[in-house]
Structure 1
Amino acid sequence: MAKYLNKQHGEFSLKMIQDLVLTNAVGPWNLECIVQFGLRYGESVYSTKATKWADIIMLQGESLLVPEAERDLQVRIARAIQTGLRHVAVVMCKSEVKTTAKMQMTRIYKDLPATIAFFESLEEAMDWVTEHGYRCERADVEAFFSESI
């Protein structure tokens, strides 16, 4: 009998700096990747006992989720919002599926009580989270995104 192994599709790196969670994500992503992301996110955020934070997410590559990964991510995001996630800045890198990826992210956050905004550059995203009261050490944020993945 043949065995079929589900392999993770998609890559990410994640780091929490003060009250910002930074995620550099290269898609497309399947459920296995989202499960691993959820575990890492939980380890990074929930152990700090933070009560309010923001995400800066950089989407690269073919930034789409398969349907089961999208559903799972929405559940994980809802849990994060219940514990303190308030603002999400998404940097949309060049991609053939940029419009579709933006629609998918909008759909994921549609009924959730967090504010999501889309940006063309990391600088704009950093400005936005700073305007919303988060501590953004620009050099550290830029270093993370230039060195990760």
Structure 2
Amino acid sequence: MKNIIVGALTLFIIGLMVFTAMDDPVYHGGEHSKVIKDFGTGDGKNQNMTASTAPQEKSDREKENEELNALRDKAGNAGAFKVSNEYKSKCSSCHGTNGSGFQNGKAMMGPKIFGQSEEQLYKSLADFKAGRRENMIMKGLLIKLNDEDLRRLAKEIGEFPQRAKERE
């Protein structure tokens, strides 16, 4: 009985595919096939293109704002203190480049870790790794780190406030 139902459904699906292919104007050289054929030729002969869909030139004001925003981002990143490559690769995407939980004025996925003590940080990292605190991302990032790695990471993050003061 199952084979009969599966066979009937297969024939039905194949029938729908054939019907769609026969009914589609693209396959019959209709207007739609010409649009697809002419698409992207760049010869300007496509009458379907209207002025509203043509790319518009940005105003000088918009260009200046984009340049200013790019400079602000660059300045914000240059003003951050140095962090290790390990912190950059494991922590900064969620906690920000300086542990503030913000990047370029936008809240990140992870909470603020800036200002926590080395011991607090180590305990949290060890708890995440051991599964006492539940977070799949943290556990996945920490699973292959040993105790010495956790202590080194906690020490570095614990030094962030001091590094920020030195940078000022």
- Normalising by structure 1, report the TM-score: 0.30
Pick 1 or 2: higher relative contact order, CA cutoff 8 A, min separation 6: 1
More strand by share: 1
Normalising by structure 2, we get a TM-score of 0.27
